[in-house]
Amino acid sequence: MKGEILIKNAKLVDGRGEHGQADLLIGEGHILSLAGGDAPTVLDAAGRVLSPGFFDPHAHLREPGQEVKEDLKSGLTAAARGGYTDVVSMPNTSPVVDSPEVVRALKEKAARIGQARLHPAAALTQGQEGKVLSEARLLREAGAVMLTDDGRTNEDAGVLAQGLQYAASWGLLVSVHAEDAGLRRGGVMHEGEVSFRLGLPGNTGFAEAARIARDLEIVRYVVQGPGALSLEPGRSLLHVQHLSTRRGLELLRQAKQAGLPVSTEVGPHHLTLTDTHLESLNPIYKVAPPLRTQADVEALLKGLLDGTIDCIGTDHAPHTQDEKELDMLRAPFGIPNIEVCWPLLYTELVLKRGFPLPTLLERFTDGPRRLLGFPPIHLREGAEASLVLWSPADERPVEPHTFASKAKYSPWAGWVLRGWPALTLVEGRVVYAQTVQV
């Protein structure tokens, strides 16, 4: 759709709170008015909720080289259907995204596709081998927004320390997969009562905590040691991906209270599923880090509520159906979830647990944007019109065969959810529309 759009009867909610009902006039990529106006296209929100578009700081879109699992078109289309206007893609592809040429090519292709906006993350080290740092400045100039060796752990503390220093000098956040490789060993699920009973190799929660503890000391060295960095207030230097344990959360809470520039995210699977789901021996529940205990879930929910956890990162990780149908030892880690993340957490947290809606929205919008240096999008005149209209009332089950993602399976298949996006706008341009009356 082109030209101005009038969205009537929309209930406005963003990370600051609820703002009543309004008629939004959108044009030239921005919100022109909250009091209506004339437009060639008129959409009736019919009481649905209008929010800023979601921002995913952690997704695997598999391009280049792994397009059989996902590609930019399918992944960014899936993101738009999930209410996401912005996605950070991980660099563990074939080849690894460790050069400015690859970063530019990804951004140019995503722009031509015209769905959710792409913000590539680039590898912290060349080839993600953990030895030689990538060119932070050149990657930043090409459009990278983050440096990470996600999919691999950074074993050399000295390389990580130097990487933090270089990245910070060019305004880049460093994101880490926090697991101690020696403690993790070959674990395919959480090490505990369930893994012992099933006879499967376990991945202890202490592997995450041990690596977080080490990385926090590296941050302390970088900001308090000789030649300490001077950072802008409130800026994060190191970001811990897909937090999964109560102990890891405690360490990060203590670090934040001590003023260390660190941040973290949590994925929807670590908030809604536990290791007991592996009783079925179904690799659809095999993720890295693994699903933990209910006690870990409860702790993460509290951390999300009190702000220790800064944002929601989907860790959308599609694989082929054949790969995920292998046995627990051979199947790859990861699940697709970018199309269900919002309705899942709205249903499970807001509707069932009374989690404050504005707080959850903040973790989907302002939280990740702040970490990566993007300005917040709030529902007021002049704001960028990258928005999502979603229904708090309409119920429907998760039906993986309808996914835009190439990965048409889900651990939440059949779960009946509310909050499904009906309309997604990127700078005033409709990138997804389900059922909105014109």
C-alpha span between 41 and 46 (Å, rounded): 15
Phi and psi at 424, nearest 5°, equal: -125, 130
* pLDDT grade for 438, boundaries at 50, 70 and 90: very low
Above pLDDT 70, what percent of the chain? 99
How far lies 73's CA from each of 212, 292, 391, in Å?
35, 33, 25
Q: What is the pLDDT of residues 127-161, one digit of tens each?
A: 999 999 999 999 999 999 999 999 899 999 999 99
- 3-state secondary structure (DSSP) of residue 26: strand
What's the predicted TM-score (pTM) here? 0.96
8 A C-beta contact, residue 417 and residue 343: yes
Which pLDDT score is estimated for 3? Answer: 78
Q: What is the pLDDT of residues 266-319, one digit of tens each?
A: 999 999 999 999 999 999 999 999 999 999 999 999 999 999 999 999 999 999
C-alpha span between 192 and 275 (Å, rounded): 9
Which pLDDT score is estimated for 1? Answer: 41
Q: Across residues 13-31, what is the average pLDDT?
A: 96
Tokens describing residue 377:
């999008």
Q: Is the pLDDT of residue 329 over 90?
A: yes
Q: Which of 180, 215, 310, 315 is catalytic?
A: 315
Tokens describing residue 32:
């022109």
Average pLDDT across the chain, whole number? 96
Which pLDDT score is estimated for 127? Answer: 97
Q: Is the pLDDT of residue 41 over 90?
A: yes
The domain segmentation of the chain, as residue ranges, is: 53-378
Q: Is the pLDDT of residue 437 over 50?
A: no
Which pLDDT score is estimated for 2? Answer: 52
Above pLDDT 90, what percent of the chain? 95
Q: What is the pLDDT of residues 226-274, one digit of tens each?
A: 877 777 777 899 999 999 999 999 999 999 999 999 999 999 999 999 9
Which pLDDT score is estimated for 47? Answer: 86
Which residues have a Cβ under 8 Å from the Cβ of 348 and sit 6 or more positions away?
271, 272
Q: Across residues 421-429, what is the average pLDDT?
A: 97
Which pLDDT score is estimated for 311? Answer: 98
C-alpha span between 373 and 55 (Å, rounded): 12
Q: Across residues 308-332, what is the average pLDDT?
A: 98
- In the block, residue with structure tokens 């040691």: 225
Which pLDDT score is estimated for 435? Answer: 62
Active-site residue flag, 14: no
Q: What is the pLDDT of residues 181-222, one digit of tens each?
A: 999 999 999 999 999 999 999 999 999 999 999 999 999 999
CATH topology of domain 53-378: TIM Barrel (3.20.20)
* Count of other CB atoms within 10 angstroms of residue 380: 12
C-alpha span between 334 and 87 (Å, rounded): 17
DSSP string, 232-298: -TT--SEEE-S---HHHHHHHHHHHHTT--EEEEE-THHHH--GGGGGG--GGG--SSPP--HHHHH
Q: What is the pLDDT of residues 159-178, one digit of tens each?
A: 999 999 999 999 999 999 99
